[in-house]
Chains A and B, each alone.
Chain A
Amino acid sequence: DTGVSQNPRHKITKRGQNVTFRCDPISEHNRLYWYRQTLGQGPEFLTYFQNEAQLEKSRLLSDRFSAERPKGSFSTLEIQRTEQGDSAMYLCASSPRTRGTTDTQYFGPGTRLTVL
């Protein structure tokens, strides 16, 4: 299967700990997005990468959050000093760059974070 993959699928941590999630996009997709989904809500945009460049960050992404995409392939999302409010599903999506039309984003299964 060559879809978007995310690891780990589940993460339980204690408040104040740091966590890191990984996203592997579909091969050759140069666009990569992170979203966050809390219980009972639709996903919300966090950040966007085009190749290795982070071109947009949402105001939802506080200073405790950092995302990288070295070499324009996989991406990591790190949360420092986790808080209970960080508990959510973190979704990654990728898309190819298209000309003249809206790209379609393909989503991974997500990483569910629980902060105790």
Chain B
Amino acid sequence: AQSVTQLDSHVSVSEGTPVLLRCNYSSSYSPSLFWYVQHPNKGLQLLLKYTSAATLVKGINGFEAEFKKSETSFHLTKPSAHMSDAAEYFCVVTFSMFSGGYNKLIFGAGTRLAVHP
């Protein structure tokens, strides 16, 4: 069975300081992992994805995440927070039974990021 645990429901940072959103996953198969962001009244937007290539994945808006198999983690980081980063962030796991197969995404409960001036 697959599952995702986001370790913090709320994270608050000051503008210009680093961001760390933590995610642990459980998967019986080689997983694909994603981070999505959801701004109020807007759709889910893909930040980045890991699919068994490089373990350090760079995404949009300066975000990156590192896949650590030994720790079953996929934490999201950003060196310097911006006010516009305030949103809900979801860590997501999935796998395909076969290459190129469809994927039903399994979402974590989300982490709400607040950025203060």
Asked if chains A and B come from one complex, the reply is yes
Residues of B within 8 A of A35 (CB): 105
- Report B1-26 CB contacts with A as 1/0, cut-off 8 Å: 00010000000000000000000000
Residues of A within 8 A of B96 (CB): 102
Residue of A nearest to B95 (CB): A102
Which of A84-107 touch B at CB < 8 Å?
91, 93, 95, 97-107
Tell me the smallest distance from the CB of B108 to a CB of chain A, in Å. 5
The interface-forming segment of A41-49, A61-69, A75-83 is A41-49
- Taking a contact as CB atoms under 8 Å apart, the answer to whether A102 and B32 are in contact is yes
Q: How many residues of A contact B (CB 8 A)?
A: 33
Tell me the smallest distance from the CB of B32 to a CB of chain A, in Å. 4
A21 contacts the other chain (Cβ, under 8 Å)?
Answer: no
Give Cα distance in the complex from A101 to B50, angstroms.
Answer: 10
Residues of B within 8 A of A106 (CB): 46
Determine which of A4, A48, A50, A102 lies in contact with B43 in the assembled complex, contact meaning CB atoms within 8 Å. A4
Which of B17-42 touch A at CB < 8 Å?
32, 36, 41-42
- On whether A41 and B102 interact (CB within 8 A), knowing A4-B43, A109-B42, A109-B43, the answer reads no
- By secondary structure, the A interface counts as loop
- Report A29-49 CB contacts with B as 1/0, cut-off 8 Å: 001010100001111110010
B44 contacts the other chain (Cβ, under 8 Å)?
Answer: yes
B103 contacts the other chain (Cβ, under 8 Å)?
Answer: yes
Which of B61-104 touch A at CB < 8 Å?
90, 92, 94, 96, 99-100, 102-104
- On whether A31 and B102 interact (CB within 8 A), knowing A102-B49, A109-B42, the answer reads yes
B57 contacts the other chain (Cβ, under 8 Å)?
Answer: no
Give Cα distance in the complex from A100 to B18, angstroms.
Answer: 35
- Taking a contact as CB atoms under 8 Å apart, the answer to whether B43 and A45 are in contact is no
- Taking a contact as CB atoms under 8 Å apart, the answer to whether B99 and A100 are in contact is yes
- Taking a contact as CB atoms under 8 Å apart, the answer to whether A91 and B100 are in contact is no
B106 contacts the other chain (Cβ, under 8 Å)?
Answer: yes
B51 contacts the other chain (Cβ, under 8 Å)?
Answer: yes
Which positions in A face B, CB cutoff 8 Å? 3-4, 31, 33, 35, 40-45, 48, 50, 55-56, 58, 91, 93, 95, 97-110
